[in-house]
């Protein structure tokens, strides 16, 4: 399945990448031009909370609407609409009223912080809720200038829109790909006699940043005729175009064959490849 999006999809990951993998060479976040909205909401103006739960970690979920779709599990990819603020209401991140688009999110693989994954596994498709994430489950003592002070609790308004099936599978691995452009029919597609450049973040359930080229934009470059490891990577990249995004949920079978990735567990875990295509050119 190919999901149409605009480039602002990676706003979701921007804060995550910089906070988790920041270094001196990390480029500053580009601020959008024009007047910025200081507040946003995914909740209707007349909402009332109908249920709530608080766990031993201090994480709290308050539902404005209970969905009737399936419960979320590790490895599910869902479209979400969200807003993240500080407790004082200051906007930190979000899709609603910023990108004007729902965006894909994979559950359980540290795409955001621990609090997101804990909360989403208590939710189901169709839920509209407010989540209080204590700093210990958020970004803890990490900060991002005046956007996100250290040790900040976070308020997340979240709408789980729908679940997205993978577009294809190979060797037990699942692949999702989406477009970041409205019109890409004239763009080069990766195939014979083409070279592709892409950024890659590899996470497991327990480890973050096993591979991460995003902070320094140290892109990976491959020709179509090169050997690819694992096999599902080449399948996912074939026909990919500039600015597209890809999730590959690699099966333990494929992970065990990847050289250079060492996991703490003796038995390989499933691994998320989160990919952004930087460019496709002719050889």
- Same domain? For 157 and 35 the reply is yes
How many degrees, rounded to 5, is the angle at CA 31 between CA 12 and CA 151? Answer: 55
**pLDDT of 33 over the 60 cut:** no
Domain end among 118, 145, 163: 163
User: Are 164 and 104 in contact, with CB atoms under 8 Å apart?
Assistant: yes
* Residue at which a domain ends, from 134, 163, 192: 163
Question: Do both 62 and 112 map to the same domain?
Answer: yes
47 and 137 co-located in one domain: yes
pLDDT of res. 222: 97
Of the two residues 24 and 19, the one the predictor is more confident about is 19
Q: Are 39 and 121 in a shared domain?
A: yes
Query: Does residue 172 share a domain with residue 159?
Result: no
Q: Which phi and psi angles does 61 have, rounded to 5°? A: -120, 130
Q: Which residue range forms the structural domain that includes residue 178?
A: 168-282
- Per-residue pLDDT of 229-239, as tens digits, reads 999 999 999 99
Residues 154, 175: one domain?
no
Asked whether residue 181 falls in the same domain as residue 123, the answer is no
For 62-75, give one letter per residue: b (16+ CB within 10 A) or e: ebbbebeeeebeeb
Q: Are residues 174 and 261 in the same domain?
A: yes
Average pLDDT over residues 168-193: 90
In this structure, the answer to whether residues 187 and 152 fall within a common structural domain is no
Q: What is the pLDDT of residue 18?
A: 44
Q: Are residues 175 and 159 in the same domain?
A: no
> Which pLDDT score, from 0 to 100, does residue 258 have?
87
Q: Clarify whether residues 138 and 239 are in a common domain.
A: no
pLDDT digits (tens, 9 = 90+) for 142-172: 877 778 888 999 999 999 999 999 999 999 9
Q: Last residue of some domain: 145, 163, 181? A: 163
At residue 186, the pLDDT reads 87
pLDDT digits (tens, 9 = 90+) for 97-145: 555 678 899 999 999 999 999 999 999 999 999 999 999 999 888 877 7
Q: Considering only residues 257 and 246, tell me which one the structure prediction assigns the higher pLDDT.
A: 246
Domain count of the chain? 2
Strand ranges for the chain from DSSP E = 2-4, 51-54, 60-65, 77-85, 91-94, 103-106, 128-133, 154-163, 168-170, 173-179, 194-203, 211-212, 220-223, 245-250, 271-282
pLDDT at 214: 92
Residue 222 and residue 126 share a domain? no
CATH number for the domain harbouring residue 259: 3.10.50.40
Amino acid 185: pLDDT: 83
């Amino acid at each position: 399945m190919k999901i149409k999006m605009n480039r602002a999809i990676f706003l979701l990951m921007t804060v995550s990448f910089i906070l988790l993998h920041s270094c001196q060479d990390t480029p500053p976040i580009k601020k959008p031009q024009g007047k910025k909205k200081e507040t946003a909401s995914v909740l209707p103006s007349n909402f009332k909370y109908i249920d709530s739960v608080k766990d031993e970690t201090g994480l709290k979920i308050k539902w404005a609407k209970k969905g009737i779709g399936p419960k979320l599990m590790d490895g599910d990819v869902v479209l979400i609409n969200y807003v993240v603020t500080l407790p004082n209401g200051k906007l930190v991140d979000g899709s609603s009223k910023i990108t004007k688009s729902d965006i894909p999110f994979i559950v359980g693989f540290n795409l955001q912080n621990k609090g997101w994954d804990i909360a989403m596994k208590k939710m189901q498709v169709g839920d509209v809720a407010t989540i209080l994430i204590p700093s210990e489950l958020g970004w803890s003592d990490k900060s991002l200038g005046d956007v996100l002070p250290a040790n900040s609790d976070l308020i997340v308004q979240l709408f789980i829109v729908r679940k997205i099936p993978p577009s294809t599978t190979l060797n037990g691995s699942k692949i999702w790909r989406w477009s970041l452009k409205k019109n890409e029919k004239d763009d080069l597609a990766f195939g014979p006699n083409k070279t592709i450049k892409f950024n890659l973040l590899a996470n497991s359930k327990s480890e973050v940043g096993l591979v991460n080229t995003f902070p320094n934009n140290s892109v990976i470059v491959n020709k179509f005729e090169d050997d690819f490891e694992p096999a599902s990577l080449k399948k996912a990249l074939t026909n990919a175009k500039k600015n597209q995004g890809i999730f590959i949920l690699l099966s333990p079978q494929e992970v065990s064959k990847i050289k250079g990735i060492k996991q703490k567990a003796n038995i390989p875990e499933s691994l998320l490849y989160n990919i952004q295509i930087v460019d496709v050119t002719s050889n």
